[in-house]
Every structure is written in structure tokens, then in C-alpha cells.
Amino acid sequence: MSIISLIIKREFIAKVRNKSFVVMTFLSPLLFVAIAGFVAYLSSMKAETKRVAIHDESGLFVNEFVAQNNKDSEYRYLDLSAIDVQALKDSITKEDFEALLYIPKTISNKDLENKIQLVSNNSPSIIFIEKAQGIIADKLTKNNLEMAHLDTLAIEGAKAEVVLNLSKASGEESIKGLNEIKIAIGGAFGYLIMMFIIIYGNMVMRSVIEEKTNRIVEIIISSVKPFQLMMGKIIGTSLAGLLQFLIWTVIGLSLMFAASAFFGVNIGPTSRVSPEMMHVAQQEFSGTAQMYIKELWNLPIATILIGFVVYFIGGYFLYSSFYAAIGAAVDNQTDSQQFLLPIIMPLMLSVYIGFFTVINDPHGTIAVIFSMIPLTSPIVMLMRIPFGVPWWQIAISVSLLFASFFGVVWFAAKIYRVGILMYGKKTSWKELYKWLKY
């Protein structure tokens, strides 16, 4: 067995056997599911019904609000026009009601527009305010129309709703919300790369520091080249990481199947929606869903997946070489902070660029530039690929990434070589620069 594969094997086994790895691997999906379940449970819980008192001196709106009681379970509107306004205000402070909507009697509808008051103890939610305003405005508009003797039904019927049919010059149809899906796919892959780099880069660093602090490194590098040790470490750790991801995927999928089977049984019989409505909804849904699915299949799936693998490998190796060099340069983890910042920065930057710039303008200058720069390209380019990127851009970006990968590995190996034999010395940037010349 060649030496480097020996190192890879040891690193892999050391990582996988580690208790925290086992715990992380099997506990975090459970934790994730538990949190997701908890959130789902919270949001499925019926919010407490809030009582809103309506004192409508105009008599115009109260019925509109009361009619809402059937549709809206969150708020319960009570017609309390008969009770004195001041008394109602007092009872709010005693928290009998969430709020009081006071509509005074005015001479004209115009006057009414800014005379209506909403009194409450706590600041009311924006959604509620908008809703109340909407109901009042609709009714007022309708009333205005009627007063002008216009046929409200005819006007209602004359209203036009326009939906733009999006399509590309190449003739493909397109649908709304597709950009969001594209960025979600690219973003998910990009985010995965970022998480992997941070988690496993750190592991590489810790493993280097461990060898340095327990002084085994001198024994090892009397048998192997520091470069071999570094590469073996990086590869071995990444394999452990991939195994973890694989296990997560398997656990995740089986939990998803289990969950859908479990809920599938529960939802069916208790559903109160009538069969016909279900049918219609299903048809409607499947129509749009089919379009989305069709669109998804039109995405450059092969390019996305190949791109993911290529950028994943390039990005991970690029960054973990940095992590290895940092691990070699410091004596313990607390000292590593000053060197870690410049590594985290481009990672964060690329995620931000992805979510803010790429989604707005996937082929704009900023997006293109950052999908070329090796430190950001693994994430930014992956986010751009679903939008269709000319192959030459990918070619440049990938070759830059791998060229700089070899450069960084060379640079990191130099620092690593010197650093692992330096004990008990605080390292500065200046020191690192000196090591490059040794």
C-alpha cells in the first residue's frame, strides 16, 4: 500500500471512530427532524382567537367585519356599536379586547377616510391593520360607487387581471418563480459546499494541531514527506465528511418516507375538503406542478451536478490547504482565529453575492467576476449555473480554480513543512512570510 493511501486510511478511520463524529452523524438528523417537527407543530397550532370590538356609528362596515368571522379564525369581530365608546376603551385596558375599531359618524365618505381609529393596548400587527384597512376601503369604494349610481357588478366584471407569460427568446416557456427555484438549487449546492469547507476544513486544522501538540509529527515526517502527510490528511478527512453526508442523505430520505407514510394515513380521513374540490385543486395543482417539473428538467441538470462535483473538489481542496497551513502555523486552536478570518470572509462574501447579486442579475458584471475568482467561484458559479452559463466562462473559472489550487497547495505545503516543527512560538503574519523563503 502506498504511503499516502496509508495516511488517508488512518485519517479516515480516526475521524469516523471519533465519538463526536458518530454522535454528530446520527444525532444531528434527529435533531433536525425534531426541530422541523417542532416548528411545524407550532405553526399548525391554532393561534388564540383575538377579540376585536367594533363600534360603528356609521353602520356601514360592521356587517363586513362580522362576515369575516366565518373565514377568519384568528380574529373575532364583535358588533358593540350599542356600547359607549369610552366604556369600550376602558375595557380594552382591562384586556377584554385586543383592539377597538372606532368608526365615527361623519358627513361624507371622504371625511371618513382618515377619521377611523384603531385603539389597542399593544401595537397591533401590520397584517391586521392592512386587513382592516382593506375591508374598510373596499366597502367605502363600493359605497362610493353606489352613491354615484354606478353598477358595481358591471364594474367588478369589467376589471381585468393580467398575467404575463414569460418566455425566453429561444422559445422555451417560462414561469413565474422559476428564478427563485433556480437560486434555491444553486444556493443549496453552494451552501452545502460552504458548510462542508468550514466543518471539514476545521477538522483538517484540528488534526494538524493535534499531531503538532502531541509531537507525533516528527516521528511521522521522518518517514513521509510533509506534503504527503498534508494531502493524506485532507483527502482522508474529506472522505469521512462524504461518508457523513451520505449517511445524512440516507437517514433524511428514510425519515421523509417514514414521515409521509405516517402523515398520509392521518390526513386522508380527517380532511374536510369535499372530493370534488380536492379533484379540482389537484388538477389545478398538477397543472402548475407539471410545468415546474418540466422547467426543472429543462435546467442544465448534468452541468449542475458535474459542476457541483468539480467545484466541490476544487473549493474544498483549496480551502482545506489553507486550513492545514494554519493548523501547522499555530500551537493551539485559540491562536488560529487571526488566520481564520481571511478564510471565512470570501466564503461569506460568495454566499451573499449569490443571494443578492446573482438572483437579480445572474449574468451581470459582479456575478461574472466573482464566479471567476477562485476563492468565491465554487459557490458563486454554482449559483449561476442553473441560469445557464456559457461554457467558456465555466472553463475559465474551473481552470483558474485548479491553477490556484495547485498554487495554494504549494504555498500551504511550504508553511506546513516549516510550521509543524515549530513548537511553542506565537506565529505572526511576518513569520509566515519568512517561512515561505526557508
Entry field: residues in the chain: 438
Binding of residue 215 to other proteins (CB under 8 A): yes
Nearer to other proteins, 18 or 121 (CB): 18
By C-beta, is 15 or 182 nearer to other proteins? 15
Distance CA 36, CA 25 (A): 17
Q: How far is the CB of 14 from other proteins (least distance, A)?
A: 7
Q: Can you tell me which of 176, 279, 425, 434 binds other proteins, judged by CB under 8 A?
A: 434
The verdict on 425 binding other proteins (CB under 8 A) reads no
- What is the phi/psi pair of residue 54, to 5°? -115, 120
State which of residues 22, 280, 293, 421 lies at the interface with other proteins (CB under 8 A). 421
CA distance 107 to 121: 29
Does 391 engage in binding with other proteins (CB under 8 A)? no
CA distances 51 to 59, 97, 124, 126, 280, Å, are 19, 5, 12, 16, 35
Beta carbons of 384 and 409 less than 8 angstroms apart: no
Stretch near other proteins under the rule CB under 8 A, chosen from 116-124, 148-156, 214-222, 389-397: 214-222
Nearest Cα to 353, choosing from 319, 317, 325, 380?
Answer: 380
Stretch that binds other proteins, among 123-131, 208-216, 289-297, 380-388 (CB under 8 A): 208-216
3-state secondary structure of 169: coil
Q: What are phi and psi of 55, to 5 degrees?
A: -115, 100
Coil vs helix vs strand at 56: strand
Left if phi > 0, otherwise alpha if psi is -120 to 50, otherwise beta: which for 149?
A: left
Contact string 166-205 vs other proteins (x = CB under 8 A): ----------------------------------------
Where in 6-25 is the site for other proteins (CB under 8 A)?
A: 6, 10, 14, 18
Instruction: Give the residue among 204, 237, 234, 188 at the shortest CA–CA distance from 351.
Output: 188
In whole angstroms, how close is the CB of 326 to other proteins at the nearest point?
21
Nearer to other proteins, 11 or 98 (CB): 11
Does 221 participate in binding other proteins (rule CB under 8 A)?
Answer: yes
Among 86, 108, 222, 270, binds other proteins (CB under 8 A): 222
Q: Closest Cα to residue 136, out of 101, 99, 100, 106?
A: 101
User: What's the closest the beta carbon of residue 24 comes to other proteins, in angstroms?
Assistant: 16
163 three-class SS: coil
Give the HSE-up count for residue 177: Cα atoms under 13 Å, Cβ half-sphere. Answer: 7
Judge contact between 109 and 143, C-beta under 8 A: yes
Alpha-carbon torsion 372, 378, 379, 385, what sign?
A: positive
> In angstroms, rounded to a whole number, what is the distance separating the alpha carbons of residues 1 and 342?
38
Instruction: Closer to other proteins by CB, 36 or 216: give it.
Output: 216
CB of 219 to other proteins, least distance (A): 6
Find the part of the chain contacting other proteins (CB under 8 A) among 170-178, 216-224, 276-284, 361-369. Answer: 216-224
**Does residue 216 bind other proteins (CB under 8 A)?**
yes
The verdict on 3 binding other proteins (CB under 8 A) reads yes
Cα 157 versus chain centre, distance: 41
Question: Residue from 16, 145, 224, 400 that binds other proteins (CB under 8 A)?
Answer: 224
| Shortest Å distance, C-beta 8 to other proteins | 12
Judge whether 120 and 95 are in contact, CB under 8 Å.
no
Q: From the CB of 13, what's the least distance to other proteins, in Å?
A: 8
Which listed residue (152, 167, 223, 286) binds other proteins by CB under 8 A? 223
Segment lying near other proteins (by CB under 8 A), choices 78-86, 191-199, 217-225, 262-270: 217-225
Judged by CB under 8 A, the stretch of 2-10, 39-47, 253-261, 324-332 that binds other proteins is 2-10
Nearer to other proteins, 327 or 386 (CB): 327
If we measure between CA atoms, which residue out of 182, 186, 205 comes closest to residue 344?
205
- Footprint of other proteins on residues 298-357 (CB under 8 A)? none
Residue 435 contacts residue 415 (beta carbons within 8 Å): yes
User: Is 219 near other proteins (CB under 8 A)?
Assistant: yes
Closer CB to other proteins, 46 or 215, in the complex: 215
Residue count at the site for other proteins (CB under 8 A)? 24
Judged by DSSP in three states, 262 sits in helix
What does the binding site for other proteins look like in residue numbers (CB under 8 A)? Answer: 1, 3, 6, 10, 14, 18, 210-211, 214-216, 218-224, 417, 421, 423, 434, 437-438
